Structure 1
Amino acid sequence: MKLKLLFFLCISLFTFSKVFAQQDSLALRTQSIAKVDSIQGNFKEYNPLAPAKAAFFSAIFPGLGQIYNGSYWKLPIVYGALGTSVYFYIENDKQYNRYRDAYKRRLAGYNDDEFQDRLDNDALINAQKHFRRNKEISILVTAAFYILNIVDANVDAHLQQFNVSNDLSMKPNFKYDQFTGRTNYGLSFNLNF
């Protein structure tokens, strides 16, 4: 529990410091950058702090950065991934405690545990090792999904600020060479003003 709390505080402080570091470095910027919404023709102001805000929100509460970005469809994925890994941690912890308690009772001299007729002491030790390993893997997977949630919110906020108007296009280009009879392959990059 202390390790999870320490990990959460480190990630939160790191993200919090990044927000203020970016804010100070961008304070000197006087011109605003805008992009054109190609569908409506309206100008949307470029927000350089949006990725940091999205990452900070996701660090505070998983899924909040996706809500900030407007990617509501990602919420079931975030909560499904985190919920599944937490579920497996809880199940492996319960099983680990069952086998550990039975082993402790045998060491204390009791012969009334639930595994008395089926498992010997070595099998109880091996089961404890197995479930402890699975429990530790579940913690790592939960931490990985938590970090992925933060990274996804940050990257999604970055990608929302790219110009994706119809004036930019890249298409494959196939050109038939009449002299050699071969087909040449390439990419055509078009920029319309």
Structure 2
Amino acid sequence: MKGQFLKVLLFIFVLSNTTFAQEETTVLKANDTISVEINPLAPSKAAFFSAILPGLGQAYNKKYWKIPIVYGALSISVYNYVDQNKKYNGFRDEYKKRIDGTSLYENDSFYGDFSDDSVLRAQRFHQRNRDMSLLFTSLIYILNIVDANVDAHLMQFNVNDNLSFKPDVRMNEFNTNANVGLLLKYNF
């Protein structure tokens, strides 16, 4: 009888505590929370704009200072491609003329100094440089698209003074040497 009484008393105790805990509900709400609407399609939109017109994705992200860098890099690599292609075609045409026997390289002021082997090596040299210029142009174009995409992703992150990573230089009290370190600060 005493064992049953303890079981009933324990059951009532457990039941009363769970019902008591369910009656009171407390909702905590932060007063300083700032609601920012995040557009999940912004990175793909910025990448699409940069794929259509290089630099347009950077303008969409409002990073206007990157646009001259994109166009400067693309124009240098395209200029180098055009220049190397022109030189390659010139040496190729001269080599073909020498094989046919129609070349007047003795009278030519530019190609007259080159032997047949030198013309062939110059042709291959400019062909390799032309191909490398095309590769660099493609890489710069792809980097432009990736930069716009990553920059649009990073704009969605909350970066404020509550999370900071700063270099810190302090003087050592014992020998007056500068101690360099990094400070990681995170506030809740």
TM-score, normalising length from structure 2?
0.69
Q: Does 1:161 align with 2:156?
A: yes
Task: Provide the residue aligned with 1:97 in structure 2.
Answer: 89
8 Å CA contact 1:54, 1:153 repeated in 2: yes
Aligned Cα RMSD in Å?
2.6
Question: Following superposition of structure 1 onto structure 2, how do residues 131-142 of structure 1 map, counting pairs within 5 Å?
Answer: 131-142=126-137
In the alignment, which residue of structure 1 is the partner of 2:186?
190
Give the 5 Å matches for 1:46-125. 46-113=38-105, 114=108, 115-125=110-120
**Aligned pairs, number:** 145
Structure 1 residue ranges, 4+ long, deviating more than 4 angstroms after superposition: 170-174, 185-188
3-state SS of paired residue (1:117) = helix
Query: Any idea what the Cα deviations from partners look like across 1:41-99, whole Å, max 9, x if unmatched?
Result: 97541111111111111111111100100011001100000110000000000000111
Residue 140 of structure 2, aligned match among 123, 145, 150: 145
1:29-40 maps to which residues of 2 (within 5 A)?
none
- Structure 1: which 5+ residue stretches go unaligned? 1-37, 177-182
CA displacement at 1:120 relative to structure 2: 1.3
Using structure 1 for the length normalisation, give the TM-score: 0.67
The change in CA–CA distance for 1:70 and 1:111 in structure 2 (over 3 A counts) is: same
Q: Say if 1:170 and 1:104 are closer, same or farther in 2 by CA, change over 3 A.
A: closer
Q: Percent identity, aligned pairs only?
A: 52
